[in-house]
Amino acid sequence: MDGRLPLSGVGVLVTRPAGQAENLCRLVEQAGGRAIALPAAEIVPVSDVEPVRALLAADWDLMIFVSRNAVEHALPLLPGGRLPLDCTVAAVGQATARALAAAGREPDLVPGGRFDTEALLAMEALEDVLGFRVLIVRGVGGRATLGETLAKRGARVSYAEVYRRERPQVDPAPLLAHWRQDIQVVTATSDDILQNLIELFGSAGRELLLGTPLVVVSERTAELARSLGFGRIEIAERAGDEEILAALCRAVQPAPGPE
């Protein structure tokens, strides 16, 4: 070992929304890398909150929060600004579970493994939901898998869409001017962020972007990346910052050759 840190001299494009990237940037820099923040998604409240407020105040057997954003944007709309105590509360992942706990309500259901929708659906507690009144708290236009699967199992599913994602207005020209020197790996922690990056960079930056190793947090996003033309893709074991860091370290190693 030469004592070098695993990301020494590596520029990492961190594309999480503003306010959600600080810890990952800190970990990158502790590993010797340079974190370059370029928020590729903006999380904003929905414009009309009254229908959502009514849904959140109704009686439910199960409330599922799909993200930390869902918790943070739902909280001020809940009766008394407090999470319910009289129904089962589920979190799709650990970050969501931590947000619920910070808001005063430990979730009853949190999946293990990859902490994703499929892992939540595989939990024994959600196998028999016939007749359950289920509210899924999410962003506008979220994935259909969770609700559709629960509905097929007999649940009555509704959605409280408490935030929406927008593509920020960003000029990528300064970044593209020194791309090869400054950026050695890119992160995209959701399909939306990946699509936004493609649109933000446009035709001028597409080749540079596609030619840079990419770290994602799900096989779904990896499939999208392949369809867009990315060459080197690393999938983090989970969506946590430490797992993303480990994937970043793998992404900057020489690609394995054919067996």
What pLDDT digit, counting tens, does each position of 44-82 carry? 999 999 999 999 999 999 999 999 999 999 999 999 999
- Res 3: pLDDT: 57
Q: Give the per-residue pLDDT at 258.
A: 55
Domains of the chain with CATH codes = 11-41+170-251 (3.40.50.10090), 44-165 (3.40.50.10090)
Residue 238 has what pLDDT?
83
DSSP string, 187-233: EE-SHHHHHHHHHHHHHHHHHHHHTS-EEESSHHHHHHHHHHT-S-E
CA angle 82, 72, 22 (to 5 degrees): 140
Q: Scanning the structure block, which residue is given the tokens 């999470």?
A: 83
What are the pLDDT digits (tens) for 186-209? 999 999 999 999 999 999 899 999
Note the pLDDT of residue 116. 79
pLDDT at position 119 is 87
Regions of the chain short of the pLDDT cut 70: 1-3, 114-115, 256-259
CA distances from 197 to 20, 171, 205, 233 (A): 17, 11, 10, 15
Count CA within 13 A, CB hemisphere, residue 48.
3
Q: What is the pLDDT of residue 1?
A: 38
Assess contact for 56 and 78: CB atoms under 8 A: yes
Indicate if the alpha-carbon torsion angle 207, 185, 93, 50 is positive or negative: negative
Tokens of residue 201, six digits: 């960079």
HEC-encoded secondary structure of 143-173: CCHHHHHHHHCCCEEEEEEEEEEECCCCCCH
